[in-house]
């Protein structure tokens, strides 16, 4: 099937999951995970009115951003781990960063955005599966400290939380993780007094239906749109 047809299926399933959960489909942003995919495939998705794309690696993303500068409607999300030496490339290129996981990274990013006079929306990455292969904070106290640092900044807009659960946990365990993250997001909004803390980036090809039912505002879908990685 074509990318356009795949997108139509994902959008329809997103809509169904939202309605079944008593939610408005327009409140859920579909991020097409374009990591490792060529620019031509992104253009195919663009032609089907997909404008938000997620990349894992800054260098790969920069090449695609450069190749697609003729599409000002494009919205780039960095969903992979952000190395501190790549922070300087973020302002002006990414509208969203999903993977802030330390005070030091938050401070470096704020300083660089101030220097470039560019604002970025940011999410804190949480790792409740305790997977050593994944970045992210595991304890509420650490999350609160990073959230307070972000919230005190001017150029970074702290918007919520992101998580990638361990695969193959099954529906019950996965949904419990998503439910916990939703509770933490709500608690942060209350404790920091910020109405802007609204976002939950959670759910991928295998489990975005569950994520939507648990309150996801962003789902990150790659395989169901672009096909399996070679």
Output the CA torsion sign for 176, 177, 182, 185.
Answer: positive
- Ordered structural domains, the chain, with CATH: 3-226 (3.20.20.10)
Is the overall model pTM greater than 0.85, yes or no? yes
Chain centroid offset of residue 178 CA: 14
Output the CA torsion sign for 147, 150, 153, 154.
Answer: negative
pLDDT (tens digit, 9 = 90+) per residue, 143-152?
A: 999 999 999 9
Tell me: pLDDT of 230 over 60: no
How far is residue 61 from each of residues 39, 80, 106, 123, measured CA to CA in Å?
A: 10, 11, 20, 18
Alpha helices, DSSP H, located in 68-201 = 103-116, 140-152, 171-192
Mean pLDDT, range 119-123, rounded to an integer: 98
pLDDT band at 229 (very low <50, low <70, confident <90, very high): low
pLDDT (tens digit, 9 = 90+) per residue, 193-228?
A: 999 999 999 999 999 999 999 999 999 999 999 998
Here the tokens at position 36 are 């490792």
Distance of alpha carbon 213 from alpha carbon 122, whole angstroms: 23
Tell me: pLDDT of 132 over 80: no
């Amino acid at each position: 099937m074509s990318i356009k047809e795949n997108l139509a299926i994902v959008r329809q399933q997103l809509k169904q999951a939202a309605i079944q959960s008593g939610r408005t489909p327009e409140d859920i942003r579909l991020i097409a995970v374009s990591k490792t995919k060529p620019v031509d495939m992104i253009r195919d998705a663009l032609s089907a009115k997909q404008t938000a794309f997620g990349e894992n690696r800054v260098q790969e993303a920069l090449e695609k951003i450069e190749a697609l500068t003729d599409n000002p409607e494009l919205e780039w999300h960095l969903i992979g781990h952000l190395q501190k030496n790549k922070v300087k490339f973020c302002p002006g290129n990414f509208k969203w960063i999903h993977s802030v996981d330390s005070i030091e990274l938050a401070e470096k990013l704020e300083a660089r955005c101030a220097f470039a006079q560019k604002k970025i929306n940011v999410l804190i990455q949480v790792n409740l599966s305790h997977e050593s292969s994944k970045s992210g904070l595991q304890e509420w106290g650490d999350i609160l400290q990073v959230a307070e640092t972000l919230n005190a900044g001017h150029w970074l807009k702290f918007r919520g939380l992101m998580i990638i659960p361990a695969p193959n946990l099954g529906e019950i365990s996965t949904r419990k993780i998503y439910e916990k993250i939703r509770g933490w997001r709500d608690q942060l909004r209350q404790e920091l007094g910020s109405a802007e803390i609204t976002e939950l980036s959670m759910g991928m090809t295998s489990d975005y239906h569950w994520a939507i039912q648990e309150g996801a505002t962003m789902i990150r879908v790659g395989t169901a749109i672009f096909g399996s990685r070679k």
